C-alpha cells in the first residue's frame, strides 16, 4: 500500500520529489524513485508484504520495465508459482511484482489475471510506452493530467498540483454533477484538466497518443438455477475464501466492526479462519439512537476478539479541514466515521478489513425497496397525489432527524412523478440538489458557460444498460459502477490512508460481485421476508450462521450525527457569517439569495436542508484551502473566528 506518482516532461527530478512528499502519509515507511530521459517515477511505501526487500519502483529481469503500484494482489502466491514455472525470475517477495511478469506474458491483458485492489503504472523502456490500470471496482485511486506538453499521474490530485504541470481551476461540470450525485462521476475530479482513471479501465500513452479502455464489467442476466439453500452455501464458501485471501500480510491485521451485518460477517469469518484475539475497532456516540457499540460488542464477545472502542464527540467544524485536505474535494458526512475509526485503528495495526460493498452488492438500502413502495403509491391517480395527498404530507412537522417522516413522505410523493431509471436518478439527488434547484443556485452566466448538463444521464447510462432486466438488478449495477468506486471506496481509501492505514473490502471483491449478480433479485430484496428482513435477504441467511440473531434482524443504522439540529442551533450563526462572505457568490457562480433562502427555511424549521447546507459549507472550506492557500490549521482558526 502506498502512494505512486509519475511525470513526463521538464523539471522531472524536482517535481517527482514534491509529488511524493506531499502524500507521505500514504507511505511513511519508505520512498523510491526511477529516472530516465523521458519519465520520473516515485513511490511512498506503507510496508505490508516483504517488509525489507519490497521497495519500489521494481524492475523486471533485464530492467526494461519499471513498476510502481499501490495496492495488494491477493492471488499473487498462485500467480507467482505459475510465472516461475514459465521461467520468470523474481527479485522480491512482494505481491505486486507479479504484475511485471504478467505484463511480459500477456501485455495489456495482464489486468485480467489480477485479483486484488490496485492502481499501477508500468514504464516500458523499449517501446517508450506507459501502461496504467485501476482495479475492477476502484478501490485504489489514480489521477492523470496531460497539459502544457507534459503528462503526470498520481494517487491523489494534490500530488498532480504539486508537480506544477497545471494550475488549480474548478471543473464546473464536475461541480454541477457533484451537487446532485454526492460524488464526482466517471473521469471528473473537482479540478479542470485533472482526470480520474475510471475503475476497471487501463490507460496507454504511446507516441504522445493517449487511449483508455474498459477491461471488465458484470452481467446480471445469467441467473443461477440453484435453490436458496444451495446459494447460501455457495455464498458462504465464497466469502470465507475471499476473506482468507484478504488476510495476506506480513503485519498484524484488524477489523472494522460497526454493529451491522456487513462488517460483522467479515470480522466473524476472520475469527473463524483462525485470527486469534482479532483486534477490532468500533466507535460510538453518547446518543443511544446513534450508538452501535452494543451490537459490535455482541460479535466481539462471541468470538473473543480484542476490543478497541471509543465514544466520540465529533468536533465537526475543526475536523472538516482535515477531511477536505485528504479527499481533495468536499467532505461527506460518511467520511467522519471512517476518519475517526481509522485514527483509532492506526494506533494498533497497519491493515484492517471492513464491510464496504455489502449494501450495493446485496440490496441493503431503503431506496431499493422504496422504489417498489412508490409503485404502489402510483396506483392512486396523479391528480389525487398532487392535490390532496401532497397538501397533507406538506403539513407533517419536520423533526430534523435521520430519515424523518416528513422526508420520507416528501420523497415518496416526489418520486411518484417519475418512473424507471429517471425515478432512480432523481431519487439520488432529491435530498441534495435536483436539476431544478441547481438552476436556482447557479447564476445564469454560470449555467450558460456550462451548457446545462444532465446529472441524471450519469445514472441512466448504467440503469438503461442491457446487462440487467430486473429493476433491483438495474439499481445494483448502477451503484456498483458509480457509487461504489466514486463515493464509498473513494472515501474509505482517503480516510484510512490519512492515518497510514490500509483498508480491504472482501465484500466488493470482483469475484463476489460476479457471483452476487447471478443471484435472483428476489433473494436480495425479498418483500415476503418476515420481521423486516427483506433487504439483503440472502446475505442475512449467511449472517445467521455467524452472528447473534439480534444483529441478523437489526435494521440498518450506520454512523451519523444530528446535522439538521446543529445547523439550526449551535452552528446557525457560524453558517450566517460564512455564507455572508461566500467565495462562490463572489466568483459569480452561486446566487446569494437562494443560499439565504435555504438557511432561512432550515433555521426557521420550515424545511430540512441539512444535506444541501453541508455541501455548500464544505465547498467554501475547499475553495479557501485549494485556491487561497489556507491550511488545515488556518481553517480551524478561521472557523473559530466565525463561531
DSSP string, 292-358: -HHHHHHHHHHHT-EEEEEE----HHHHHHHHHHHHTS---HHHHHHHHHHHHHTTT-SEEE--TTH
Largest Cα separation within the chain, whole Å, is 77
Q: Report whether 165 contacts 157 (CB < 8 A).
A: no
Handedness of CA 637, 160, 200, 507 (dihedral sign): negative
Distance CA 211, CA 202 (A): 8
Among 147, 111, 112, 151, CA closest to 129: 151
Among candidates 258, 255, 239, which has minimal Cα distance to 546?
A: 239
Q: Are 267 and 255 in contact (CB under 8 A)?
A: yes
For residue 362, which of 475, 462, 269 has the smallest C-alpha distance?
A: 475
C-alpha cell at 537: 435477504
- Rounded CA-CA distance 24/43 in Å is 9
Residue 34, beta-bridge partner list:
41
How many whole angstroms from its chain centre is CA 600?
32
Kindly report the length of the chain: 643
Residues 6+ away with beta carbon under 8 Å from 493? 139, 140, 141, 503
Of 411, 364, 288, the residue nearest 533 (C-alpha): 364
234-257 residues labelled b (16+ CB within 10 A) or e (exposed): bbbebbbbbbbbbbbbbeebbbbb
Helix (H, G, I), strand (E, B), or coil: what is residue 241? Answer: helix
Q: Does the active-site annotation cover 2?
A: yes
Residue 559's nearest CA partner among 409, 324, 342, 397 is 342
| Cα separation, 427 vs 414, whole angstroms | 9
All residues at 6 or more sequence positions from 259 whose CB lies less than 8 Å from its CB, including other chains: 282, 292, 293, 294, 295, 296, 299, 551, 554, 557
Which H or E run includes 279? strand 279-284
35/479 Cα distance (integer angstroms) = 40
Alpha helices (H) in 483-562, listed in sequence order: 483, 489-497, 510-518, 537-543, 549-552
- Catalogue the E-assigned strands of 501-611: 502-504
Annotated catalytic residues are 2
Amino acid at each position: 500500500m502506498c502512494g505512486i506518482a509519475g511525470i513526463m516532461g521538464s523539471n522531472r527530478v524536482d517535481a517527482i520529489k514534491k509529488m511524493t512528499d506531499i502524500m507521505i502519509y500514504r507511505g511513511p515507511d519508505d520512498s523510491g524513485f526511477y529516472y530516465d530521459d523521458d519519465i520520473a517515477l516515485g513511490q511512498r511505501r506503507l510496508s505490508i508484504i516483504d517488509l525489507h526487500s519490497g521497495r519500489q519502483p521494481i524492475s523486471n529481469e533485464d530492467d526494461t520495465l519499471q513498476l510502481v503500484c499501490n495496492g495488494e494482489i491477493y492471488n499473487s502466491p498462485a500467480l507467482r508459482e505459475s510465472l516461475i514455472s514459465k521461467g520468470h525470475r523474481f527479485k522480491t517477495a512482494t505481491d505486486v511484482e507479479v504484475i511485471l511478469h504478467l505484463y511480459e506474458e500477456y501485455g495489456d491483458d495482464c489486468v485480467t489475471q489480477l485479483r486484488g485492489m490496485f492502481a499501477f503504472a508500468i514504464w516500458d523502456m523499449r517501446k517508450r510506452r506507459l501502461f496504467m490500470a485501476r482495479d475492477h471496482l476502484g478501490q485504489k485511486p489514480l489521477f492523470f493530467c496531460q497539459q502544457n506538453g507534459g503528462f503526470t499521474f498520481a494517487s491523489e490530485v494534490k500530488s498532480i498540483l504539486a508537480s506544477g504541470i497545471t494550475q488549480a481551476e474548478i471543473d464546473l461540470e464536475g461541480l454541477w454533477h457533484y451537487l446532485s450525485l454526492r460524488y464526482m462521476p466517471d473521469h471528473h475530479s473537482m479540478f479542470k484538466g485533472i482526470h480520474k482513471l475510471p475503475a476497471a479501465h487501463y490507460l496507454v500513452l504511446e507516441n504522445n497518443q493517449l487511449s483508455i479502455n474498459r477491461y471488465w464489467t458484470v452481467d446480471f442476466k445469467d441467473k443461477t438455477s440453484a435453490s436458496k439453500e444451495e446459494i447460501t452455501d455457495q455464498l458462504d464458501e465464497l466469502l470465507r475464501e475471499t476473506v482468507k485471501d484478504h488476510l495476506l500480510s506480513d503485519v498484524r491485521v484488524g477489523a472494522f466492526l460497526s454493529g451491522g451485518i456487513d462488517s460483522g460477517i467479515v470480522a466473524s469469518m476472520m475469527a473463524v479462519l483462525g485470527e486469534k484475539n482479532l483486534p477490532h475497532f468500533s466507535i460510538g456516540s453518547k446518543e443511544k439512537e446513534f450508538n452501535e457499540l452494543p451490537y459490535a460488542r455482541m460479535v466481539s464477545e462471541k468470538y473473543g476478539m480484542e476490543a478497541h472502542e471509543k465514544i466520540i464527540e465529533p468536533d465537526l467544524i475543526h475536523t472538516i479541514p482535515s477531511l477536505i485536505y485528504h479527499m481533495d474535494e468536499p467532505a461527506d458526512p460518511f467520511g467522519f466515521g471512517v476518519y475517526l475509526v481509522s485514527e483509532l485503528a492506526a494506533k494498533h495495526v497497519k491493515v484492517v478489513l471492513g464491510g464496504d460493498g455489502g449494501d450495493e452488492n446485496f440490496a441493503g438500502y431503503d431506496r431499493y425497496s422504496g422504489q417498489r413502495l412508490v409503485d404502489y403509491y402510483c396506483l392512486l391517480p396523479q391528480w389525487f397525489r398532487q392535490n390532496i395527498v401532497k397538501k397533507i404530507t406538506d403539513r407533517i412537522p419536520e423533526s430534523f432527524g435521520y430519515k424523518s417522516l416528513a422526508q420520507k413522505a416528501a420523497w415518496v410523493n416526489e418520486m411518484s412523478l417519475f418512473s424507471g431509471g429517471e425515478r432512480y436518478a432523481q431519487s439520488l439527488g432529491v435530498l441534495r440538489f435536483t436539476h431544478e434547484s441547481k438552476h436556482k443556485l447557479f447564476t445564469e452566466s454560470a449555467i450558460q458557460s456550462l451548457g446545462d448538463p444532465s446529472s441524471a444521464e450519469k445514472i441512466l447510462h448504467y440503469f438503461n444498460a442491457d446487462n440487467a432486466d430486473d429493476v433491483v438488478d438495474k439499481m445494483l449495477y448502477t451503484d456498483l459502477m458509480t457509487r461504489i468506486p466514486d463515493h464509498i471506496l473513494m472515501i474509505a481509501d482517503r480516510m484510512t490512508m490519512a492515518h497510514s492505514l490500509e483498508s480491504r473490502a472482501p465484500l466488493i471483491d470482483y469475484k463476489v460481485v460476479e457471483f452476487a449478480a447471478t443471484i435472483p433479485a428476489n433473494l436480495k430484496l425479498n418483500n415476503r421476508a418476515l420481521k423486516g428482513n427483506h433487504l439483503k435477504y440472502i446475505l442475512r441467511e449467511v449472517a445467521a450462521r455467524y452472528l447473534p440473531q439480534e444483529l441478523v434482524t437489526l435494521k440498518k443504522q450506520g454512523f451519523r450525527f444530528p446535522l439538521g439540529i446543529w445547523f439550526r442551533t449551535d452552528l446557525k450563526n457560524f453558517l450566517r457569517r460564512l455564507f455572508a462572505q461566500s467565495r462562490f457568490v463572489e466568483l459569480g457562480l452561486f446566487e446569494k439569495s437562494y443560499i439565504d433562502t435555504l438557511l432561512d427555511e432550515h433555521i426557521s424549521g420550515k424545511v430540512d436542508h441539512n444535506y444541501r447546507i453541508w455541501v455548500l459549507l464544505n465547498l467554501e472550506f475547499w475553495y479557501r484551502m485549494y485556491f487561497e492557500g489556507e491550511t488545515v490549521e488556518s481553517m480551524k482558526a478561521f472557523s473559530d473566528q466565525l463561531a
